[in-house]
Structure 1
Amino acid sequence: MKYGNKAFANLFLLIAFFLFIGTFLINISSIWIYILQRASEAALIGGIADWFAVTALFKHPFNLRIPHTNIIENNKERLINTVSNMVNDTWLGKNFLGAEINKIDFYGIIIKIIEKDKYNKKIRFYSRKYLIKFLKYVKTDKFNKFVNGKIGEALDENLSERIVNGITLFVKGGDFDKTYGILAGYIKNYAAKYETKDITKKIIELSSLEIMNSIKISGKRLINDNFDNAIINLCDFANITIDKNESSLKKQIREVIEKYKDDSVIKKIFIFVARETNVLDVELLSNEIIAKIKNFINEIRNDPLNDIRLNIKDYALSILDNLDEEVKHQVLNNIETIIHKNSDNLRDYLLSYLDKASGKRFIKNRLLSFIKSDGNNIMSQFNEPIKNGLMTAGLNTVKAIIENNKSYILNKNLFKEKFDYGISLIRDEISEKSGEINSFFRRNTVYAMKLNHSIIGKLVKRYLESLDHKKLVGQIESKIGNDLQYIRINGALVGSIVGILIALIGLFLKSVR
């Protein structure tokens, strides 16, 4: 606040006071004295009233706790909230700031910075300074650990999966067709020169495990799919065979009984007595035995859960799981013989199949299926060697690039030349995309402003809350105190003018009366 205005307001009030007192002390009957008396009286009243109003904003007048005085301190919290909200929502609202940001020429600012020589020199100086430090840092183990660490972090994120995905994309892409053509040509040239007998033997040697597994799987599938029909047919065959050979079976039963009788004298006597007393009827016994056998067979035939039927199936499956080496060897030899006999035809067919679209499509689909099912498992076995190899190659590449370009840093003139060339490229690039640059910076600045706009009000509020009453009043007085003193001066002036008018009106009314 300008203290001169306050002193002038106090002086004006003091003059009004002395004039008011003086007009009462001077015992002169004069119209002018009367008018001066009324003017000074009104000026004194107006000045004191405005002084009270202005003072009541900041403190209690005469230190008397009169209601509705010391307004700023009593309403500090509401004042702070009002000011912070006004600044945040009105004075510096989102729409206003957004409009102002969109007027900023970011492109022009960047160009001015680039084109100013003093900025260029500083940027060039510090760029070269820190690049030279970087060259020294490159030679340390710390740099090696840093680069390897960064490469390792990048490679640790599903390396196997990314390699498999890359191979999958390659196989699905157009480049695979070219690679396939090269591989197919190589295979055809190789197959044309190679002895079919050797190829057959190689196939059997390399694929023996897969062949036997395929035989086991196919055999089990065949048993599972056809066992019920096979067991039914077998049981039907057994029943038919029994019916056709019933007389022969009865004969065998009689022979068994006779053999049993001839084993000892006691058995002979027992059989004789049984026959003579009709306890043992050989014909009836034979029919009963044959009927029991057929019932037993029919139970196996008709009940899928029959224990013997299930045991037969389990036994058949177990044979495939427990093939001895001799059987395996015999099977593989037979397959080798079959392949060898048909090797020429098979080779011609495979070579022609490679040239067909269907062949390429089949191989491509099989390869994709293999990659999908086993790719990650296979690649995970090579994770560490691949990772270590890539880390070494990456570090060596980085160092080679730095080594090849360090002369441009160490040589001051070369560095200036390359730096100026780079700045020129940047300037040209910026010039071509001035609209895009302005749009980019404006859009992102407005976005950042809107995202953090509430901070404005919070900062204002936090600052005002940090001020005690004395500092807050002092800052308000320093900003608006000068205008408030003019209110006091204007109050006294207006009061004196009103006093003169009242005096004139009073004199006029007296003269009329």
Structure 2
Amino acid sequence: MRRAATGMLVLMAAIFLWSGRYLDVHPAWGYIHAFAEAAMVGGLADWFAVTALFRRPLGLPIPHTAIIPENKDRIADTMAVFLRENFLIPQVVARRMREMNLAGAIGTYLADPGEEAGGRIRAGAGEMLVEVLESLDPERLGTQVRAGLASAIERLEVAPLLGQILDAMIADGRHRPIIDSIIRWAGLVLEDNEDMVRAMIHARANALLRFTGLDERLANSVLDGLYKLLAEVLVDPDHPLRAKIEEGLVDLARGLRDDPEMRARIERTKADILANPAVAEWWQGVWERVRRKLIAMLRGEGGEDAGKLLASLTEMGEALRDDPRLQLQVNRFARRTAVGIATRYGDNIVRLVSETVRRWDAQTITDRIEGAVGRDLQFIRMNGTLVGGLVGLTIHFLASVL
């Protein structure tokens, strides 16, 4: 395009020189001469303007030329500010995300990804993930994942969270099945340890009770009383002992939330568990099994498990596609996540753009911008040549008439 625009300028210069020899032959040659002369002026002016954007025309130190190289840093800051103010503002991100049904689109793809394209995408993504899982050092990767989880758990204060969960369970009545399970477990423990209970009673009975055999009857009475108590607590939802257990759970939830000493004990216990080498070894084994299972499933070697995974993904896709309430929740979560990223990391993204452009040398940024818009700029030169010629033709006509 640069050669075409320059060729048009050279053509106008040739017409100007050629037509100048025939001005006395016929008045029409004057119009051709005026058109070519003005076209040269317009073409040269636009060549100067276009060239001055990217470099100094003919290498001359003319003021206000080589605009882009000379203002590279200001352009970088302007691009960054434009990106921040038009794309990374939380309100803009929220509005854009509100117009998208991300959950519906994901659900449609998962439910029916398409025979050919979907298969290629899944195969390519699966192979890439397999290569990543195999190329990375399993022990090092597992250690990094464990360290990340441990760091996240260390920052998380567990006691208040447990207290809130326990409060919510009590408020909804979901603690009652747990109490029932505890009572049944207590009954089984008592049944498995009857001999130990009898031995304890015999050991504490005096000689008269043992001589008369009343210690055995006492042991039977104690065991029967305990079994009866557990049965009554299990079948009676209003039993006083059950109320005491619930009261204890309420006190436990309150302590987990509000008692600094209890919260400190929970945090110390959490730290001891995380620091235990046995936990690290257990996690390493879990991670290695998960990694191998993932590789086998992605390679199609998972057999029934792979089929279950695909079926689960399809069911999840159908739920996302067909359930408006689920879509609303997922879209809301995605919107809040995007807004949170824009709020927390928007300045970092802007700084990254600005610093990247600032690090480019002047020739690099000039070549990239000229490569992006240079074609249209050469059209400006062509249009300037034609418009200049038409203006010159009009002026020559008016001068002839007047």
TM-score of Structure 1 vs Structure 2, range by shorter chain = 0.5 to 0.7
Find the aligned partners of 1:10 and 1:129 in 2 and give their Cα distance: 53
Tell me the SS of whatever aligns to 2:355: helix
Pairs within 5 Å for 1:197-212: 198=206
Maintained 8 Å contact 1:102/1:442: no
Maintained 8 Å contact 2:110/2:318: no
Match for 2:385 among 473, 483, 492?
492
The structure-2 alpha-carbon separation of the partners of 1:11 and 1:120, relative to structure 1 and needing over 3 Å to count, comes to closer
The structure-2 alpha-carbon separation of the partners of 1:126 and 1:470, relative to structure 1 and needing over 3 Å to count, comes to closer
The structure-2 alpha-carbon separation of the partners of 1:55 and 1:492, relative to structure 1 and needing over 3 Å to count, comes to same
What RMSD in Å do the two structures reach over aligned CA positions?
A: 5.7
The structure-2 alpha-carbon separation of the partners of 1:431 and 1:491, relative to structure 1 and needing over 3 Å to count, comes to same
Pairs within 5 Å for 1:55-454: 55-90=51-86, 94-95=90-91, 97-98=93-94, 99=96, 102-104=100-102, 105-112=105-112, 116=118, 198=206, 415-434=302-321, 435=323, 436=326, 438-439=330-331, 442-443=334-335, 445-447=337-339, 449-450=341-342, 451-454=344-347
Shift of 1:201: 10
| Higher mean C-alpha deviation, range 457-466 or range 46-55 | 457-466
Match for 1:41 among 21, 25, 37?
37
**Are 1:10 and 2:6 an aligned pair?**
yes
The structure-2 alpha-carbon separation of the partners of 1:420 and 1:69, relative to structure 1 and needing over 3 Å to count, comes to same
Find the aligned partners of 2:128 and 2:20 in 1 and give their Cα distance: 83
| Higher mean C-alpha deviation, range 495-504 or range 19-28 | 19-28
Residue type at the aligned position of 2:41: I
Find the aligned partners of 2:181 and 2:48 in 1 and give their Cα distance: 92
Shift of 1:90: 2.2
Shift of 1:39: 1.6
| Higher mean C-alpha deviation, range 30-39 or range 435-444 | 435-444
Q: Deviations over 1:91-127 (max 9, x none)?
A: 6665555415834322233335698556777899999
Maintained 8 Å contact 1:39/1:496: yes
Q: Deviations over 1:462-495 (max 9, x none)?
A: 3322321112111111111111111111111111
Find the aligned partners of 2:349 and 2:357 in 1 and give their Cα distance: 12
Find the aligned partners of 1:83 and 1:125 in 2 and give their Cα distance: 38
Maintained 8 Å contact 2:111/2:315: no
**Are 1:505 and 2:392 an aligned pair?**
no
Shift of 1:76: 1.4
Find the aligned partners of 2:119 and 2:93 in 1 and give their Cα distance: 32
Tell me the SS of whatever aligns to 1:471: helix
2:170 corresponds to: none
Equivalent pairs, count: 297
Find the aligned partners of 1:128 and 1:45 in 2 and give their Cα distance: 64
2:258 corresponds to: none
**Are 1:481 and 2:374 an aligned pair?**
yes
Shift of 1:56: 1.0
2:355 corresponds to: 462
Find the aligned partners of 1:130 and 1:90 in 2 and give their Cα distance: 36
Find the aligned partners of 1:123 and 1:472 in 2 and give their Cα distance: 34
Maintained 8 Å contact 1:113/1:119: no
Gaps of 5+ in 1: 132-136, 203-346, 377-382
Find the aligned partners of 2:55 and 2:38 in 1 and give their Cα distance: 25
Find the aligned partners of 2:387 and 2:39 in 1 and give their Cα distance: 7
Q: Deviations over 1:157-215 (max 9, x none)?
A: 999xx9xxx9xx99x967788899999xx9xx99xx99x9839999xxxxxxxxxxxxx
Tell me the SS of whatever aligns to 2:61: coil
Maintained 8 Å contact 1:19/1:40: yes
Maintained 8 Å contact 1:47/1:489: yes
Find the aligned partners of 2:44 and 2:300 in 1 and give their Cα distance: 78
| Higher mean C-alpha deviation, range 494-503 or range 121-130 | 121-130
Find the aligned partners of 2:357 and 2:300 in 1 and give their Cα distance: 55
1:21 corresponds to: 17
Tell me the SS of whatever aligns to 2:24: coil
Maintained 8 Å contact 1:128/1:415: no
The structure-2 alpha-carbon separation of the partners of 1:85 and 1:112, relative to structure 1 and needing over 3 Å to count, comes to farther
The structure-2 alpha-carbon separation of the partners of 1:448 and 1:200, relative to structure 1 and needing over 3 Å to count, comes to farther
Maintained 8 Å contact 2:72/2:365: no
Specify the structure having the higher radius of gyration (Cα): 1
Sequence identity (%): 22
Shift of 1:14: 1.6
Find the aligned partners of 1:462 and 1:69 in 2 and give their Cα distance: 24
Shift of 1:17: 2.0
Q: Deviations over 1:408-453 (max 9, x none)?
A: x99x999523431343244224423444264366336524542433
Tell me the SS of whatever aligns to 2:303: helix
Find the aligned partners of 2:132 and 2:364 in 1 and give their Cα distance: 47
Q: TM-score, normalised by structure 1?
A: 0.44
Q: Deviations over 1:344-370 (max 9, x none)?
A: xxx9xxx9xx99x9x967x969x97xx
Shift of 1:506: 1.0
Find the aligned partners of 1:199 and 1:111 in 2 and give their Cα distance: 78
Q: Deviations over 1:13-63 (max 9, x none)?
A: 122223333344446153212222222221121111111111111111122
